[in-house]
Amino acid sequence: MENSNNSTNTTNTAAATTTTKKKSKLCEICNVSRPVLKRPKTGEMICKECFYTVFEDEIHHTIVSNNLFKRGDRVAIGASGGKDSTVLAEIMTLLNKKYDYGLDLFLLSIDEGITGYRDDSLETVKRNQEQYQIPLKILSYKELYNWTMDDIVKEIGLKGNCTFCGVFRRQALDRGAVMLKANKIVTGHNADDIAETVLMNLLRGDIPRLQRCVNIITGSEGALPRSKPFKYTYQKEIVMYAYFKKLDYFSTECIYAPNAYRGHARDFLKDLEAVRPSIIIDIIHSAENFHFREENKMPVQRNCIQCGYICSNDICMACDLLKNLNSGLAKVKLSINLKRGKDSNNNNNNNNNNNNSNNNNNTLKLESTSVTN
C-alpha cells in the first residue's frame, strides 16, 4: 500500500514538473504563444507578437515622454539603408499613423562616395522610399565639398578618415534637411551606439562631449534639432525586429570602418555585456546623472565666418578640414595630431584664424549650398 502511494506521488510530481516545463516555454507576457527570443534588456522570454508590441510601445513612450515632436513638424529621417535607419523609417511611419502624430516625413540620404558600399546601400534606400511612399532626398559629399570619401582616403590614408566622414556627414544632414524645409532630424542611433560614445569620450577625456552625447535631442541651440528615438533601444532588438518583419536593409559594414576608434569601444562594450547584460543601459543612465562643472560645458555656439554653419569656433570643422585637404596639408597635420593624441581641429584653429581671407572654391560652394531651400 505504501509503495502504491509512493508510486502515485512520484507520478503526480512528474506530471507537475512536466506542466511547469510546459508553462516555462510560453511567452512571459501573453502566456499563450511560444517565445522566439530573450530580451537583452529585461531577460524576458517573449513571442513574436508581444515583441512587436513592446518594441513599438517603448519607442512611442520615448517619443512622447521626451516631447520629440509636435503636430505639423517636418521630420527628415537619416536613411543609410542599414538596419537602424530602415527600422527607424518603419517605426516612424507606423507610429505616425497609429498615434496620429501629424508629422510630414522625409527620407534624407548622404552619399559619401564610397564605391562598393554607399552606392549599393542607396539602392536599398530607394526601395524603402517606394515601400513607405516617403519623399527622398540624396545629397553627396561631391556636390557639397567636391570630395568623395574615396578621394579623401587616397589623400590621407585609412587612419583618421572617420574624422573627416563624421564631420562632413553631420553638416550634410543639416544642409539636406534645410533643402527639404524640415525643422527636425531623426537618426537611428541606438542604445549600443550611445554607450559606445560614452566610453569613447571617457577614454579620450572629452568631458564637454560626454555631457552632450547622452542628450536625446541635440542641436537645439542653433542648428536643426536632432533626436534619437532609439536611445534606449538595444541593437539586438533592432536586428530581430528587422528580421521578423522581413525588412529590406543593407547589412554590409563600411569598408573603411574596421580602422575606426569606435571599434575598440564596441569590442570593450561586448566584453562588459557578457559579464553584465544590463551594462548598456547602465552606462547611459550613469552618464545622464553626471554633474559637470561650468568650465567643462560646451562653448557658446556661433556661425562659421566662411560658410555660416553653426560651430563653436570662428571657422567650422568642415571648412577647416576642407582647407587642409585642398592645400595638401591634411595628411601632414593628421599625422602630427595622431602622434600627439589630439583632435585635428585643436591644432588647426590658430592657422585658420590667421588665414580667414583665403577662401577656396570648395568653401564658396559650401556657402552657396547653405542658403539653398
* 8 A C-beta contact, residue 169 and residue 138: no
Cα angle 282, 84, 148 (rounded to 5 degrees) comes to 115
Average pLDDT, the chain: 83
Report residue 296 as a C-alpha cell.
567643462
- Could you tell me if 335 and 211 lie in one domain? no
pLDDT at 21 over 60: no
Confirm whether 62 is domain-assigned.
Answer: no
Residue, of 143 and 298, whose pLDDT is higher? 143
Q: At what angle do helices 317-327 and 149-156 cross, to 10 degrees?
A: 60
**Cα-to-chain-centroid distance, residue 118:** 17
pLDDT tens track for 31-85: 999 999 999 888 899 999 999 999 999 999 999 999 999 999 999 999 999 999 9
- CA 77/CA 184 separation, integer angstroms: 9
Report residue 220 as a C-alpha cell.
537645439
Round to the nearest angstrom and report the end-to-end CA distance of the chain. 92
Confirm whether 6 is domain-assigned.
Answer: no
Confirm whether 39 is domain-assigned.
Answer: no
Residue 312 CA: distances (Å) to CA of 147, 300, 315, 324: 24, 6, 8, 19
| Closest listed residue to residue 299, CA positions, set 175, 209, 227, 225 | 209
193 labelled ligand-binding: yes
Phi-psi region of 205 (alpha: psi -120 to 50; beta: other; left: phi over 0): left
- Could you tell me if 309 and 289 lie in one domain? no
| Closest listed residue to residue 347, CA positions, set 327, 325, 321 | 321
79 labelled ligand-binding: yes
- Could you tell me if 80 and 124 lie in one domain? yes
Confirm whether 207 is domain-assigned.
Answer: yes
- Could you tell me if 288 and 313 lie in one domain? no
- Could you tell me if 243 and 320 lie in one domain? no
pLDDT at 342 over 60: no
pLDDT tens track for 284-307: 999 998 877 765 666 677 888 888
Q: What pLDDT was estimated at residue 16?
A: 44
Whether this prediction's pTM lies above 0.95 is answered by no
pLDDT at 340 over 90: no
Strand ranges in 97-174 using DSSP code E only, listed in sequence order:
104-111, 136-140
pLDDT bin (cut points 50, 70, 90) of residue 12 is low
Confirm whether 288 is domain-assigned.
Answer: yes
With b for 16 or more beta-carbon neighbours within 10 A and e for fewer, the 72-85 pattern comes to ebebbbbbbbbbbb
Q: What pLDDT was estimated at residue 373?
A: 31
With b for 16 or more beta-carbon neighbours within 10 A and e for fewer, the 270-280 pattern comes to eebbeeebebb
188 labelled ligand-binding: yes
- Could you tell me if 326 and 292 lie in one domain? no
Confirm whether 24 is domain-assigned.
Answer: no
Domain holding 334, by residue range, is 302-345+352-370
Q: What pLDDT was estimated at residue 331?
A: 57
Confirm whether 27 is domain-assigned.
Answer: no
pLDDT at 127 over 60: yes
- Could you tell me if 89 and 185 lie in one domain? yes
- Could you tell me if 283 and 326 lie in one domain? no
Confirm whether 32 is domain-assigned.
Answer: no
For range 208-224, the mean pLDDT: 82
User: How many folded domains does the chain comprise?
Assistant: 2
Q: What pLDDT was estimated at residue 366?
A: 37
- CA 248/CA 87 separation, integer angstroms: 9
pLDDT tens track for 352-361: 444 443 434 4
Give the percent of the chain with pLDDT over 70: 78
- Could you tell me if 195 and 336 lie in one domain? no
110 labelled ligand-binding: yes
- Could you tell me if 317 and 221 lie in one domain? no
Task: Supply the DSSP symbol for 217.
Answer: E
- Could you tell me if 337 and 237 lie in one domain? no
- Could you tell me if 340 and 240 lie in one domain? no
Count CB neighbours of 313 within 10 A. 18
Question: At which of 273, 296, 319 does a domain end?
Answer: 296
CATH number at residue 154: 3.40.50.620
